[in-house]
Amino acid sequence: MIIEGKQKIWKDYQKEISDDKYFYVRSCVRQNFFPGAETTFLRILKELGKEVHENPCHTTCTGIGYHSDIIPVDTLMTVVARQFALMTESGYENLVPSCITSFGIYTEVMDTWHHFPGTEAKVREYLKKATGREFQIPKNLAHASDVIFKFRKEIAQKAKYRLTNQKTGEPLNVVEHIGCHYAKMFPSKGVGGAEYPYVLVGMVEEWGGKVIDYPERRHCCGFGFRQYLVQANRGYSMACSHKKFESMEPYKPDMIISNCPGCHIFLDKWQYAISEMENKTYGPNGEGIPVFTFEEVAGLVLGYDPWDIGLQVHQVPCEPVLKKMGILYDPEKKYKGLHGEDLGKPVKSAFKQ
């Protein structure tokens, strides 16, 4: 591997990321599966002194329906226009979606309107008739991972832990996985482009870890919408994830970091399913490979309590990474709620913790 070659590509694919005053829009999937990740994002930005605004009227972007061919593009664009209207009404110009699908949708719609102004005019009319709202197109569109990437050095300066094995001093081996809709449709809109994205690599390296480039790095995580949403195709979904795990296993990854709701779910939960079906785990000694969102990793680096940032809802236990990083945590609190209430424990875990 010639690192200078990657560095040249990383230099070629830079993007503008606003440094404050964000209008944050949440992810349908992440709010349900990893709600702690979004809370952690807000906590980090607050700690960095940044202004973030949310509007409770924000809805789904309809991206999954659109990519599954059940939402027409005109409907999609009108819903997107409404999100922009909420941003405009709130007095913001910098849109930050939590979800990669939404980021791809917003990028696609803005690009469509740029090339076809008549379509934009038509959608403005639809929105006006339907809701009476008007909107400005965001001045800056950045995915939440872009924002954390922008502040990766500030986070490193505040770090209480690093992505290193405390016993050996060696960097942790990290698999980074980028959502397809982050840059594959519009390479210039992603930090580092589509083939060798830098957005997560930059975080990992800044925080002390070492990124693994394995043969199936670019392969689909297993979501791919129709592979999973159509029940009959789910075997294909698992086959995709399985292919990736088999490919990354020889590199002995300590953890996986992703910036996409779907990737996170499937890389996490299919490990459990594979362990049940084939009694196969991909970490050492019966452990899985813990899967984290970029906010969770940033939160761990900043010293946030693992259970405050929601790591107990992961299917693959995160404890092996916590131990390697030397993070102090209370195992008894793992399944306790905010007020100490018992959340209940999983009946069975295939993984050694």
Partner 1 sequence: MDKKKVIVIGGGIAGMESSSFLAAMLYDVTILEKSDKLGGHLNNWERLFPTMRLGKEVLDYLSQGVNNKVEVVCNAEINQIEKKGKNFKLTLADGRTFDAGAILVATGYDIFDARKKEEYGYKIYDNVITSADLEMMFSEGKEIRLADGRTPKRIGFVHCVGSRDEKVGNAYCSKVCCVTAVKQSVEIKNHIPQSEVFCFYMDMRMFGMHFEFMYKEAQEKYGVNFIRGRLSEACENMDGSIVVKVEDTLAGRPLRMSLDLLVLMVGFVPSAGSNEVGKMLGLHLGPNKFFKTMDQHTLTNVSNVEGVFYAGACTAPKTITNTITDARAAAATVASYLNEHPICKRMI
Whichever of 5 and 331 has its CB closer to partner 1, that residue is 5
CB of 9 to partner 1, least distance (A): 6
* Alpha helix segments (H runs only) across the chain: 3-12, 28-33, 35-47, 63-67, 73-89, 100-115, 117-131, 144-150, 152-158, 180-183, 199-206, 226-229, 234-248, 261-278, 294-302, 319-325
Q: Kindly state the smallest distance separating residue 187's Cβ from partner 1, in Å.
A: 8
Residue 342: beta bridge partners?
336
DSSP conformation letters of 177-242: E--HHHHSS-GGGSTTTTTS--HHHHHHHHTT-EEE--TTTTS--S-TTHHHHSGGGHHHHHHHHH
- CB nearer partner 1, residue 117 or residue 284: 284
Nearest-approach distance from CB 6 to partner 1, in angstroms: 6
Cβ at position 214, least distance to partner 1 in Å:
8
Structure token digits, residue 70: 């059940």
Tell me how many residues contact partner 1 (CB under 8 A).
19
Build a one-symbol-per-residue string for 1-40: x at contacts with partner 1 by CB under 8 A, - elsewhere. Answer: xx-xxx-xx-------------------------------
Q: For partner 1, which residue of 196, 198, 223, 228 counts as binding (CB under 8 A)?
A: 196
194 is a contact residue toward partner 1 (CB under 8 A): yes
Binding of residue 51 to partner 1 (CB under 8 A): no
What angle, rounded to 10 degrees, do the helices at 261-278 and 234-248 form?
A: 90
- Nearest to partner 1 of 30, 242 (CB atom): 242
- Of 82-141, binders to partner 1 (CB under 8 A) are none
**Residue type for 154, please?**
E
Torsion on CA atoms 296, 298, 303, 306, rounded to nearest 10 = 10
Strand 255-258 relative to strand 291-293, pairing: parallel
Per DSSP, the three-state class of 258 is strand
What residues between 200 and 239 interact with partner 1 by CB under 8 A?
213-218
Closer by beta carbon to partner 1, 198 or else 207? 198
User: Is residue 53 within the footprint of partner 1 (CB under 8 A)?
Assistant: no
Q: Which is nearer to partner 1, 128 or 218 (CB)?
A: 218
Tokens representing residue 6 in the block: 């990657």
Which residue, chain included where needed, has tokens 């993007």?
A: 15
Minimum gap (Å) between residue 215 Cβ and partner 1:
4
What residues line the site for partner 1 (CB under 8 A)?
1-2, 4-6, 8-9, 193-196, 213-218, 250-251
